[in-house]
Structure formats: C-alpha cells, structure tokens
C-alpha cells in the first residue's frame, strides 16, 4: 500500500518541526548565558541585555510549543516574527550574507505551521491531512 501524499507531507513537517524546535531551544538557551557569543552580538547591534533574555525566552518556549500539535501553528507564527526581526537586524548591520539562515527558518516555520493548521486541542477535529488515517 502506497502512503498518501498528505501523510508523507505531515511526516516530513513533523521531522522538520522537531529539528527546528531543537535548534530554537538550543539557540534560545544560549542567549541566557552572559559568556555566549549572543551577548556580544546583541551589544554590537545596540540591543539591551533584557532584549537578549526576552528573545531567548520566546525562542525556548516557542521551540517547545512547536512539538505540541495544537500549538504548532501559533508557535511557528511567533517564531517567524522573531526571525523576521533577526533578518532586519542582520540586514541593517550589513551582514547580508547572514540573512540566509533566518530566511530558511521562516520558510520552514511557515510550512510546518501550515501543515499543522486546524489541529486544536479538545476540538475532536483533526487536520484534513490526517483524516481517514487512524
């Protein structure tokens, strides 16, 4: 039996979601360490210490929420906004070659969030990509 395309897409989105969740938790956690490279980077960009910590919190919480199907779409949207801010910061500081990674993250986040749209905790409703597969 050949797997259906929606199931394959959902599986790929799940694996990418797990990977990117790991990346966001790891990178967010590093922002709490005053000795990390992020401290110097945020200072160089002119951001205060509290902003580095705030971004770290959002990235860690957002990364964890990416693995919860009923929060994936929301988390992907919030993290996309964070990555858009990173894109602007890097472009404004003249690091145009470095905007590739935030761009890739935004594309992956949008796709993962799109694949998990419609999944709501307690609604009894499953996304169209999973209906009929039980």
**Residue range 16-41, pLDDT digits in tens:** 999 999 999 999 999 999 999 999 99
Q: Give the range of the structural domain holding residue 88, as residue numbers without chain letter.
A: 5-115
Is 99 a member of any domain?
Answer: yes
DSSP label at residue 93 = T
Is 45 a member of any domain?
Answer: yes
Is 132 a member of any domain?
Answer: no
Please give the angle made by the CA atoms of 26, 28 and 31, to the nearest 5 degrees. Answer: 115
pTM for this structure? 0.83
The pLDDT of residue 104: 93
Q: How many domains does the chain have?
A: 1
Instruction: Of 82, 38, 39, give the one whose Cα is nearest residue 58.
Output: 82
Please answer whether residues 7 and 129 qualify as being in contact, where contact means their C-beta atoms are separated by less than 8 angstroms: yes
Cα 78 from Cα 71, distance rounded (Å): 11
Is 55 a member of any domain?
Answer: yes
Please answer whether residues 60 and 24 qualify as being in contact, where contact means their C-beta atoms are separated by less than 8 angstroms: yes
Please answer whether residues 79 and 128 qualify as being in contact, where contact means their C-beta atoms are separated by less than 8 angstroms: no
Please answer whether residues 89 and 51 qualify as being in contact, where contact means their C-beta atoms are separated by less than 8 angstroms: no
Is 122 a member of any domain?
Answer: no
pLDDT band for position 134 (cuts 50, 70, 90): very low
Is 71 a member of any domain?
Answer: yes
Is 133 a member of any domain?
Answer: no
Cα 114 from Cα 117, distance rounded (Å): 5
Cα 121 from Cα 102, distance rounded (Å): 29
Is 77 a member of any domain?
Answer: yes
Average pLDDT of the residues of the chain: 87
């Amino acid at each position: 039996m050949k797997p259906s395309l929606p199931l394959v897409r959902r599986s790929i989105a799940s694996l990418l979601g797990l990977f990117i969740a790991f990346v966001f938790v790891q990178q967010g956690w590093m922002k709490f360490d005053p000795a990390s490279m992020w401290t110097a980077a945020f200072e160089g960009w002119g951001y205060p210490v509290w902003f580095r910590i705030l971004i770290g919190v959002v990235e860690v919480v957002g990364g964890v929420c990416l693995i919860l199907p009923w929060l994936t779409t929301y988390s992907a949207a919030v993290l996309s906004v964070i990555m858009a801010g990173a894109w602007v910061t890097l472009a404004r500081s003249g690091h145009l070659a470095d905007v590739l990674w935030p761009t890739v993250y935004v594309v992956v986040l949008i796709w993962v969030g799109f694949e998990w749209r419609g999944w709501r905790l307690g609604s009894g409703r499953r996304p169209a990509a999973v209906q009929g597969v039980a």
